[in-house]
């Protein structure tokens, strides 16, 4: 799922994900994101760091293992959970985006197979 305000960034992310063989939902609407998250398992959310405050926490309430890739156009911003989730500073290349996405998806798959993603 892509949650991004900038049409240019949105198109770049969508292109990269489609080329990698992923199905994609693109939206700028926080209510749509929450509705989809309640009904469908989401593998990855590429989200603008300036998106609706609390949106990530609300999505996580229904999908606690959600993988995130933050996108920002400002160097002074860092996500609160930046140690767990990477962020890309715009402008970024398709290659940078692909590497970040692949890393997130591979890391979660290895945690699932190694049992590293288990909680208390």
Sorted by where each starts, the structural domains of the chain and their CATH numbers stand as 2-114 (3.40.50.2300)
Q: Residue 99: what pLDDT?
A: 92
- Residue 77: pLDDT above 70? no
Tens digits of residue pLDDT in 2-30: 988 888 888 888 988 898 898 998 888 88
How many other CB atoms are found less than 10 A from the CB of residue 42?
A: 17
pTM of the model: 0.77
Q: How far is CA 33 from the centre of its chain?
A: 12
Helix (H) or strand (E) holding 58: helix 55-62
CB 26 within 8 A of CB 2: yes
User: Whose CA is closest to 47, among 64, 72, 22?
Assistant: 72
Tens digits of residue pLDDT in 51-72: 777 888 898 898 988 899 988 8
- If you search the block for the tokens 């939902």, which residue do you land on? 25
Describe the crossing of helices 7-19 and 94-114 by its angle, rounded to 10 degrees: 60
């Amino acid at each position: 799922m892509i949650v991004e305000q900038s049409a240019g960034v949105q198109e770049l992310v969508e292109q990269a994900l489609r080329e990698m063989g992923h199905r994609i939902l693109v939206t700028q609407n926080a209510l749509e994101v929450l509705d989809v998250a309640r009904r469908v398992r989401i593998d990855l959310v590429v989200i603008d760091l300036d998106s609706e405050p609390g949106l990530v926490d609300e999505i996580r309430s229904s999908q606690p293992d959600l993988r995130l890739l933050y996108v920002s156009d400002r160097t002074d911003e860092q996500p609160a959970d930046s140690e767990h989730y990477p962020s890309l500073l715009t402008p970024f290349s398709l290659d940078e985006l692909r590497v970040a996405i692949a890393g997130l998806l591979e890391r979660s798959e290895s945690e699932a197979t190694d049992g590293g993603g288990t909680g208390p």
